Amino acid sequence: MSVWEIVALTGHRPQYLSSPQRHWLIENLDRCAQWLKANRGTRVAVSGMALFSDLVWADAATRAGLELWCYIPYPQQTANWTARDQAEWARLRALGNPDRERTFGTCYSKQALHGRNSGMLDDADALLSAWRSDKFDGGTHSATLEAVRRGMPGIHLHPTVLGVRHQLPDLSELVRRDP
């Protein structure tokens, strides 16, 4: 089995996941972080620090003893978040390695968001994708598609079917099919 020393995650924000999907993802990101450390030699988790999936991954990774690298799209990322979410972001950011923290823009822009995703893929050996297979827009789909096109290995945490696949989706699954 190949070593995945650095693993990044892309995943949906909470509004795109049902309550059962969110609970399932929390459980499985905990298991994934532990499994990656024990079975793939993972020592670093890269998080884009966005709401829900990214923050759950950062928390699971640090509890599993992985080093955390925080990739922040722009400094005001949390400006419109609740106080509770801002506090969780700050707590997790403080647990990250400050020498490996990266910021990709000076203010909100799609370029900063996509830059952050590309930066995570550039630095990672593998990708965890918590992509809903019926959502063909947004950053999670875009980052997963880019990883597949690059030939990256990874794991698909599939919230639609509550299943785990030890490979990323095929390119054909990432392309919208018209009925």
Residue 72 sits in a domain of what CATH number?
3.40.50.450
What pLDDT, in 10s, does the model give residues 79-112? 999 999 999 999 999 999 999 999 999 999 999 9
Q: What helix, strand, coil percent values describe the chain, rounded to 5? A: 45, 15, 35
| Residue 178: pLDDT over 60 | no
> Could you tell me if residue 126 is inside a domain?
yes
> Could you tell me if residue 52 is inside a domain?
yes
> Could you tell me if residue 75 is inside a domain?
yes
> Could you tell me if residue 81 is inside a domain?
yes
Q: What is the pTM of this model?
A: 0.94
> Could you tell me if residue 1 is inside a domain?
no
Print burial letters for 24-53: b (CB count within 10 Å at least 16), e (below 16): bbeebbbebbbbbbeebebebbbbbbbbbb
Structural domain that includes position 130? 6-174
| Residue 179: pLDDT over 70 | no
Number of domains in the chain: 1
> Could you tell me if residue 83 is inside a domain?
yes
What pLDDT, in 10s, does the model give residues 30-75? 999 999 999 999 999 999 999 999 999 999 999 999 999 999 999 9
> Could you tell me if residue 33 is inside a domain?
yes
CA nearest neighbour of 28 among 179, 117, 159, 135 = 159
> Could you tell me if residue 136 is inside a domain?
yes
Mean of all residue pLDDT scores within the chain: 94
